[in-house]
Structure 1
Amino acid sequence: MPATATALPNRPSRTPSARPRPALALLALLVTVVVAACTPASSSTTDAGSAPTFTLRVGATSVTGTPSGSLGWGDKTGILGDRLKAAGVKKIEYSYFQSGKDVVAALLGGAVDVAVVGDNPTLTAKGNGADLRLLAFDQVHQDAWLIGAKNGPTTIAGLAGRSVTAPQGTIRDRAARQLIATAGLTGKVEVKDVPTPESIAGLSSGSVDATIVTGTGAADLANRGYPVLDKTMAHGLGAVGTTVALSSFVDGHPGFEDAWRSGLTATNADVRAHLDDYTAWVAQNDGVDVALVRQVTTADTFNREALPADGLAELQAAYDFLAADGTLKQPFDLQQWVGQA
């Protein structure tokens, strides 16, 4: 995460020939202290005759060090920034993290204003007492594939007595457990906490029986002959991408919630209208074959409503699973929470 620079109050310059008188120096110091104490962390400024403006700090995961998905397209086209101007956003500053858990931790710690993460870290944080506001989904119907090793089981049933790998606390971890439960294999298949790169390497060596992979990585493995044992979307268990902020931030920035929703839904509408251009950009940005991107990218993933009913159903399924397995230490009323958005 890039370091956030803290603005230091300007100090009057001193030269031997120009020394301020003590009374004026004291007055200047008092004014500087008051101004510094009243300046919010988001660096809000007010131009004469205009509403306060501020730099919006957005946290997300990224393997390229640039905004990706809907967020990236909104940044590239300028759609997101244009819509956010109505709420006083003069600039968007991005910070990138290794996992959704890290993004949420940065949000709770005050390092970013908005977190763009999967539903798993959002629900886990909310279910552990965080005062989060659900702003919008950036994508829905996100699929996860259970990929097996070559010369191993060709169906999920064949994993009985074996193991599946997935990074703990992620959507992939939940997807593994959901697919195991759906297949009636709970207690018969172990889920091991292994990062995705090591899991994929293990598939190749045969030391890993199966792992959960998403996006172009899943399509690439399938095209190279690794068996696809199951998919979450085959059971209506797709994940959603969430965008959340602290309630205190939303309450302190009137109009931001509506502007953010407008920016995301307008971005997604533009993606759907220019899907070939979007997938070509993703392929170039991620350094992968555009055919792989188009194999796993469908228009219905990009919701044109902030919180569409089908996305809410997927979020509810995720909540129910996490509540049942004890991940949520403080279960909450999901529908009431969504209704506050």
Structure 2
Amino acid sequence: MKHITRTPRAVAAAAVAVALLVVAGCSRADKAGDDAAPVADKGAATELRLGYFPNVTHAPALIGLGEGLFAKELGSTKLVPTKFNAGGDAVTALLGGSIDATFVGSGPAINAYAKSKGEAARLIAGTVSGGAQFVVKPTITKPDDLAGKTIVTPQLGNTQDVALKKWLEEKGLTGKVKITNLENAQTLDAFKKGEVDGAWLPEPWSSRLIIDAGAKVLVDEADLWPGGKFPTTVLIVRTQYLKEHPATVKALLTGLVASIDAASTDKATAEKTVNAQLLALTGKALKQPVIDRAFSKIELTTDPVASTFPQLAKDQVSAKIAKEAPDVAGFADLTLLNEVLKAAGKPEVDAAGLDKK
């Protein structure tokens, strides 16, 4: 299926100034309190501008786009996909009103909520759990070997950046390791050239460094969480869009559930669809061993593992991304998701109190 994809550079540039106005507007909304007029349901939206990443950890998004499952559910609402490479850019676009919803990592999702003082964004679904690893040169066998080494994350303050910095703090390595930020494709090239010593990356990039460049796993992030479950990718939406167009958001969620069902029913076809999308978006498909390994490390799920968000917020302090943990109370609104799940005969998802302020 062909679809229009806008580049994040144009979207983010237009959104930067607007984002500041949005945050200021949200502050005024806080002061208005109960006197603020409720936003009316305006019915189905004319268009839905949807952000996503060309990563295996965004597999349900890529399947939904590639198989036309989102478009099918959206009906007359025009779907406008926008590709991003880092969560910060997607959040800037969302807060600036340049996109309406986005698949994004848990760290940037929390930042979107915190920057707007809990007003501009809502967590409406999970997408993928797992699928992030700290991979390094084979000569690095223990944490102390990292002293003086250069390690990469995709972007300052993104989900993997926070995970790495928290882990380094726990190991007493804060300030002893050089951390730099590169786009994932650049990280692969830099690792092959010996310019960096390791990286904390989402799939398929951790698998690519292992299979294509000889890296090895030092830490699988799944081992750091109870039951190995943590939200690598979630779906967030502008609060105003959610209130004005709940039917459109519900249609998007129905498409998300269909995408995950399709992958569960036929994994081989799901891998082919994701690989075809990656080829179209990046100009290069993954080798079969890479995509097989990447898929083995992720769980496609609408559960955002809401119970982990208070800890994820605290981790930003440990990683020195924030001075105090962002308040995530009220961030989740899983009402529409649970309506979709119930209608499909599936178990509802627990907001773990994240739906209440």
Indicate the TM-score class for this superposition, using the shorter chain for normalisation: 0.7 to 0.9
Q: Give the alignment of 1:1-341 within 5 angstroms.
A: 1=6, 52-62=44-54, 69-85=59-75, 90-129=77-116, 131-141=120-130, 143-150=131-138, 152-166=139-153, 167-223=155-211, 224-236=213-225, 238-286=230-278, 287-298=285-296, 301-303=299-301, 306-307=302-303, 311-328=305-322, 331-338=325-332, 339-340=354-355
- Partner AA of 2:108 in structure 1: P
Q: How far 1:326 moved relative to its partner?
A: 4.7
> 2 CA distance for matches of 1:298 and 1:63?
14
Q: How far 1:321 moved relative to its partner?
A: 0.2
Q: How many residues align?
A: 285
Cα gap change, 1:95 to 1:335, in 2 (>3 Å): same
> 2 CA distance for matches of 1:222 and 1:53?
43
> 2 CA distance for matches of 1:239 and 1:68?
12
Secondary structure at the residue paired with 1:94?
strand
Cα gap change, 1:144 to 1:281, in 2 (>3 Å): same
Secondary structure at the residue paired with 1:266?
helix
Secondary structure at the residue paired with 2:141?
coil
Q: What CA RMSD, in Å, does the superposition of the two structures yield over aligned residues?
A: 3.1
Q: Is the 8 A contact 1:124 1:327 kept in 2?
A: no
- Partner AA of 1:210 in structure 2: G
> 2 CA distance for matches of 1:261 and 1:226?
37
Q: How far 1:278 moved relative to its partner?
A: 0.5
Q: How far 1:140 moved relative to its partner?
A: 1.7
Cα gap change, 1:201 to 1:71, in 2 (>3 Å): closer
Deviations 1:7-42 (A, max 9, x none): xxxxxxxxxxxxxxxxxxxxxxxxxxxxxxxxxxxx
> 2 CA distance for matches of 1:98 and 1:222?
21
> 2 CA distance for matches of 1:76 and 1:240?
21
Name the residue aligned to 1:19. none
Q: Is the 8 A contact 2:109 2:236 kept in 1?
A: yes
Say which is worse superposed, 330-339 or 268-277, in terms of deviation. 330-339
Q: Is the 8 A contact 1:127 1:330 kept in 2?
A: no
> 1 CA distance for matches of 2:324 and 2:149?
32
Q: How far 1:331 moved relative to its partner?
A: 4.5
Q: How far 1:229 moved relative to its partner?
A: 1.8
Name the residue aligned to 1:43. none
Q: How far 1:297 moved relative to its partner?
A: 0.7
Cα gap change, 1:99 to 1:136, in 2 (>3 Å): same
Gaps of 5+ in 1: 5-45
TM-score by length of 2: 0.69
- Partner AA of 2:312 in structure 1: A
- Partner AA of 2:200 in structure 1: I
Q: Is the 8 A contact 2:316 2:322 kept in 1?
A: yes
Deviations 1:82-133 (A, max 9, x none): 3334xxx522111223322112211222211112211121112222225211
Q: How far 1:277 moved relative to its partner?
A: 0.9
> 2 CA distance for matches of 1:319 and 1:168?
15
> 2 CA distance for matches of 1:321 and 1:162?
23
Secondary structure at the residue paired with 1:111?
coil
Q: How far 1:52 moved relative to its partner?
A: 5.0
> 1 CA distance for matches of 2:44 and 2:195?
57
Cα gap change, 1:113 to 1:289, in 2 (>3 Å): same
Name the residue aligned to 1:40. none
Q: Is the 8 A contact 2:66 2:277 kept in 1?
A: no
Larger Rg: 1
Q: What fraction of aligned residue pairs are identical, expressed as a percent?
A: 20
Cα gap change, 1:285 to 1:75, in 2 (>3 Å): closer
